[in-house]
A and B are shown apart, each in its own frame.
Chain A
Amino acid sequence: MKHIVKAACLAACSSALVAGVSVSTASADEWPTGDVRLVVPYAPGGTTDVLSRRVADLLQDELDANVVVENRPGAGSTVATGRLARGGRDVDHTILMASPGHTIGAAIYPDLAYDPVDDFVFLQNLIDIPNVMVVPADSPYDNVIEFVEAAREQNMTFSHSGVGSSIHMSGELFKTLTETNLTAVPFAGSGAALPALLGGDVDVSFENMPTVLSHIRSGDLKALAVTSAERSPHLPDVPTLTEVGEYSLDQFVTTAWFGLIAHESFPQEAQDAMHEALAGVMQREEFLSFAEQLGAEPGQVSGESFQQFIAQEVERWQEVAEQAGISQ
């Protein structure tokens, strides 16, 4: 009997550990009136998740309320986003960390039950991570023009971290704009894709900057260009794709953006509170150094201009997905 009691106590303790304890510190009269739920539309561990937890931590101070992170992965972020769009309980205390999956997902997943632009309010673009066009160290190509000329003559391959990732879509966009013979080679995540690039199994990739920055610095990979509008302070010698000035590459500006969105019925009062809190978060030293570590730049747009940016992105990726013949 003693053993049973012991075991029961143990079970109770472990479930208490699982459930966690949440105590609200918010005052009753102004937003937030309870815990704020930050939905991460991906599994624990990715960039979106890590960023969300860092932001939640800082947002907690700014809002003086609990910010609870909840992972809801599935179908390239569209499951969680669809759930948010449907609204329901707590919708005025729920925010979601959106990323390129939000706009690309709208282009490649059929029958989405929501509109990626009109069904949401767009709070703040937090960070932008540029992609880098990288080739193996022993690649014979030293600049974009040499590469494009060669890839028009012969078949070449680019690696990516999964269908519909910003890395994949950047490759497809490059292929369309430059009219080159590039074949996409899918891998299960950047971790699995990198060895193929380092070992020379594939010819090029459009990886997120933080993934390849150390390899560029150590000389294991050669950076031909960055995909952002301006040169990156991390790689000041590497030109942007728009600087190439040929093959309509001036249209090639794309970053992996991360930002917070909420349901369209998110109250104005809450939007104002969030704007203020997020502006505070983005000035914090912890946030800036974290962004620096990720090789990211603090986000530029918020509110309506953020929404306009999303609308343009959705349109652009829809075109690329159609031309590449991806899904739908």
Chain B
Amino acid sequence: MDMFSEVLHLFLSLDNILAIALGVVIGVVVGSIPGLTATMAVALALPFTFTMEPVAAILLLVGIYKGGMYGGSITAILIRTPGSPASACTLLDGYPLAQQGYAKKALKTALYSSVIADFISNIALIFFAAYLAKIALNFGAPEFFWLICFSLTIIISLASGSMIKGLLAALMGILLSLVGLDEVYGSQRLTFGNYNLMDSISFIPLLIGLFAIPEIIEFYRKKVVPHIKAKASGVGMTLAEFKRCLKPIVRGSLFGVLIGAIPGTGATAAAFISYSDARRRSPNRDNFGKGEVEGVAAAEAGNNGVAGATMIPLLSLGIPGDVITAIILGAFMVHGLTPGPIMFQENLTLIYALFVGIMCSSLVLLVVGNGAIKYFSLIADIPKSILFPIVLMFCVYGAYAVNNDTFDVWLMLGFGVLGYIFNRAAIPAAPFLIGFILGPMFEDNLRRSLLIGHGDMSIFVRGPITWFFIALTLGSILLALYRYFSTRRQSSRPGKAQETP
């Protein structure tokens, strides 16, 4: 009981509540502006936390992280410009929904699934941190390699329409991901001597170019103003839809938790894996990519599921899984605290106070998100002839802001043209992005495994985790083959029936 009151005493102060609320608001606003990421916002806020109490300081940063994770989906849905890389996947179904006049539905779906995933992730952090940290430590390069293999097999399910076009897009993504410095030898690959390409192709300009620019080109090419009425005041998410989305949300959250707990993977990969998995399992499979609420829900659940879970390796092992948690680690250290096993012994009340705050942040996200939807969805009412020039300005600004360099603006415009060609040729963007994100992870972990194992292949079957993912990979391929042949049989049957009479 003493502990309980101490925790409450530590947490229940106006400063802490304000820190969470302020953090989430900053996160949502910054996250929704293309080119400004939650990472930047957390880094910029860090100096202000030096003079704050430790709990409030950490909660402010965590709030920004969570708000930013959700905020990216707003512009992805409304103007086809992902505010942050992790929301690129939300756009695949969110924007078509907005186009059909269901902007509010898409935004609400994104919010609710974000909040639920965030909540599940927090629960995992609070109750299963020790177990998940153990898994994370046993998750070496070979295990990672098989996880990526499994994820790549999911692409098969994403190649809607033409399988050839899907594979083509995925290979193009992998090819572009090769640009930059070789991870092992440091030699340059496909940089053509241009120092701007040494750090590989920046992801944000690629996303903005690929998605936002083709819409603008298309609009000015046709020069017709589409009349879509009553978007901002449209219907939200219905109960039936919510029930339908619940399963993908829970599964997506669990993907997010697993991926978040393993250092070095990231929310973008989680969103795509969750999205692909949802599509594969959904009865509305064919509607994915055309405006399916389940798609929005799965994507947002995947990326928000990561947020709480990245705190697992940070708090229990003292290992930051991504840049944001690295900054949060810095904030801990400035206050004389070192995350890791020792902190659980020495500062347990503080950790519990943080947990209470982190749980509250999910609630705050719900409130702030609802407010944000109310105002941001007004964007949907702006006539496109006024909106698109503003969007174009944001595209240029967003691409520039990543590295403060005009090279990225040209890169963004180049990808705009590529995206337009993709649209015209009906080449799907999702496999392209998955190839771009997972390709390097595949290569790096393959090479890392071989280096660790001194070239001995047996490292790839070294333990239960590798066996588990090998089984999943094989299962996934077999399932895809079974589906492929059974749909062919089904589609060939009515054809024959027509021939007989």
Residues of B within 8 A of A275 (CB): none
Contact residues of B between 78 and 123, Cβ < 8 Å to A:
none
Rounded to whole Å, the gap between the CB of B213 and the closest CB of chain A is: 20
Min CB gap A312→B, angstroms: 22
User: B325 — which chain A residues lie within 8 A by C-beta?
Assistant: 191
Q: Give CA–CA (A14, B186) in the complex, Å.
A: 40
Size category, A interface: 35 or more
A214 within 8 A of B: yes
Does B138 sit within 8 A of A, measured CB to CB? Answer: yes
| Residue B318, interface by CB 8 Å | yes
Q: Which of B160-168, B236-244, B421-429, B444-452 contacts A (4 or more CB under 8 A)?
A: B444-452
Q: Does A267 touch B at the CB level, under 8 Å?
A: no
Q: Any chain A CB within 8 A of the CB of B323?
A: yes
A residues in contact with B323, CB < 8 Å: 43-46
A72, B333: Cβ atoms closer than 8 Å = no
Chain A residues, Cβ within 8 Å of B186: 108, 163-164, 326-327
Contact check, A74 vs B198: say whether CB atoms are below 8 A apart: yes
B403 touches A73 (CB 8 A): yes
Residues of A within 8 A of B46 (CB): 50, 53
Distance A18 CA – B405 CA, assembled complex (angstroms): 17
Cβ of A294 and Cβ of B454 under 8 Å apart? no
**Contact (A50, B330) CB under 8 Å given A79-B195, A163-B185, A327-B187:** yes
A198 adjacent to B317 (CB under 8 Å):
yes
List residues of A (242-259) whose CB comes within 8 Å of B's CBs: none
Give complex CA distance A163, B183 in Å. Answer: 7
Known: A74-B403, A201-B452, A326-B186. A214 touches B338 (CB 8 A): yes
Whether A74 pairs with B405 at a CB distance below 8 angstroms is yes
CB-CB under 8 A for A185 and B50, given A163-B186, A195-B139, A214-B338:
no
Q: Check: A290 CB closer than 8 A to any chain B CB.
A: yes
Q: Is the CB of B381 within 8 A of A45?
A: no
- Among listed B32-40, B148-156, B251-259, B348-356, interface-contacting one: B32-40
> Which of B140, B184, B193, B232 lies in contact with A199, CB distance below 8 A?
B140
Q: Are B183 and A75 closer than 8 Å at their CB atoms? A: no
The answer to whether A75 touches B340, judged by C-beta atoms less than 8 angstroms apart, is no
- Residues 266-306 (chain A) with a chain B CB within 8 angstroms: 286, 290, 293-294
- B379/A201 in contact, CB under 8 A: no
- Does B494 count as interface, using CB distance less than 8 angstroms? no
- For B183, give its contact among A4, A53, A186, A214 (CB under 8 Å): A186
Within 8 A of B (CB), among A177-224: 183-189, 191-192, 194-196, 198-199, 201-202, 210, 213-215, 217-218, 220
Q: Are A191 and B264 in contact (CB under 8 A)?
A: yes
Which of A163, A213, A215, A220 is in CB contact (< 8 Å) with B184?
A163
How many whole Å from B285's CB to the nearest CB in chain A? 34
State whether A163 touches B181 (Cβ < 8 A): yes
Query: Which B residues are in CB contact (< 8 Å) with A28?
Result: none
Q: Are A75 and B198 in contact (CB under 8 A)?
A: yes
CA distance A78 to B199 in the complex (A): 11
Number of B residues whose C-beta is below 8 Å from A? 70
With A74-B405, A75-B195, A157-B451 in contact, is A195–B44 under 8 Å at CB?
no
Closest Cβ of chain A to B470, distance in Å, is 19
Give min CB distance, B411 to chain A, whole Å. 13
Residues on B with beta carbons closer than 8 Å to the beta carbon of A202: 452
In this assembly, does B129 line the interface, its C-beta being within 8 Å of a C-beta of chain A?
no
Q: Which residues in chain B, 32-72, are within 8 Å of chain A measured between CB atoms?
A: 33, 36, 39-40, 42-44, 46-47, 50
B1 on interface, CB distance cutoff 8 Å = no
Q: With A164-B186, A199-B137, A213-B338 in contact, is A7–B33 under 8 Å at CB? A: no
Judge whether B338 and A191 touch: CB under 8 Å.
no
Judged by a CB distance under 8 angstroms, whether A88 is at the interface is: no
A194 — which chain B residues lie within 8 A by C-beta?
263, 317, 319
Q: A157-B452, A185-B452, A196-B141 are in contact. Are A49 and B43 (CB under 8 A)?
A: yes
Please, how many angstroms separate the alpha-carbon atoms of A153 and B142 in the complex? 26
A163 nearest CB neighbor, chain B only: B186
Provide the residues of chain A in CB contact with B47, threshold 8 Å: 53-54, 56-57
Residues of B within 8 A of A (CB): 29, 33, 36, 39-40, 42-44, 46-47, 50, 136-141, 181-188, 193, 195-196, 198-199, 232, 263-264, 313, 317-327, 330, 333-334, 336, 338-342, 375-376, 378-379, 381-382, 386, 390, 403-405, 444, 448, 451-452, 454
Apart from A44-B39, A45-B43, A157-B454, list 14 A-B contacts with CB within 8 A: A6-B378, A45-B324, A50-B330, A53-B46, A75-B195, A78-B195, A163-B184, A163-B186, A192-B321, A194-B263, A195-B313, A201-B452, A214-B342, A220-B341
